[in-house]
Amino acid sequence: MRKLVIMYLCFFGVSLHAGDIESLTLEARSQSKMLGQSLMAVLKTSLQNDGPEAAITVCNLNAPDIAGSLSQGDWRVGRTSLKIRNSDNAPDAWEKQTLNEFNDRIQAGENPMMVEASTVIDGEFRYMKAIPTAEMCVTCHGSNVAASVASKIHELYPADQAVGFNVGDLRGAFTLRKTLQE
Ligand code: HEC
């Protein structure tokens, strides 16, 4: 893997060492952890206090803002998936390929909590970390979403694809990017 990354870097003429990739990966990992924790805290509180219909509004209004507030400096932080709810989260070519690889790695027995990938494309450092489906997620992303929840989702996201997930499935990924200085 590391050999591949180094070849890639030489190809684009960006002077980065394997150590730089490692430290960028560490930084990206800690930022995706912060995003995950912030989203989870907001989600848990609103599910407990207000129920799933209200929590959908909270996700709708807050998730993009939370990701935006963590996008500091040159970093851009977001979420993506092969089956999206918000079309702003649609994957690009590398993200789609990486999500497919994540599915294969999880099928092959890798711990979904640890699945991640880093690379450099067109002078940008890219990082993704798998988001597995947990028990609480199936309320809004599962196969048996309650009618009242489903209708609220459809009101806000008429083209929603993000249902039918089982606990343990790859729901999506955190996706981070940072422009590299030449
Ligand atoms: C209360 C309903 C609700 C619950 C519970 C919920 N989500 Fe979501 N999820 C949403 C909504 C609404 C969006 C769209 C947010 C936006 O507009 O950016 C979303 C978007 C996402 C996205 C971004 C990709 C996309 O489809 O647009 C991921 C990844 C995701 N959810 C994962 C999870 C995970 C993992 C859990 C469990 C820990 C979870 N969700 C629980 C409602 C929910």
Read off the pLDDT of residues 20-67 as tens digits, 9 standing for 90 and up. 889 999 999 999 999 999 999 999 999 999 999 999 988 888 888 888
Beta-sheet strands, E only, within the chain: 75-80, 116-121, 124-132, 170-179
Indicate the number of domains in the chain: 1
Q: Is the CB of 141 under 6 A from ligand 1?
A: yes
Q: Hey, what long-range contacts does 101-106 have (CB within 8 A, 24 or more apart)?
A: 102/128, 102/130, 102/170, 102/173, 103/170, 106/130, 106/132, 106/170
> What's the domain range around 135?
2-179
pLDDT of amino acid 70: 77
Instruction: Sheet containing 170-179: give its strands across.
Output: 75-80, 170-179, 124-132, 116-121
Q: Is the CB of 171 under 6 A from ligand 1?
A: yes
- Which ligand 1 atom sits nearest the alpha carbon of residue 139? 5
pLDDT of amino acid 17: 79
pLDDT of amino acid 88: 94
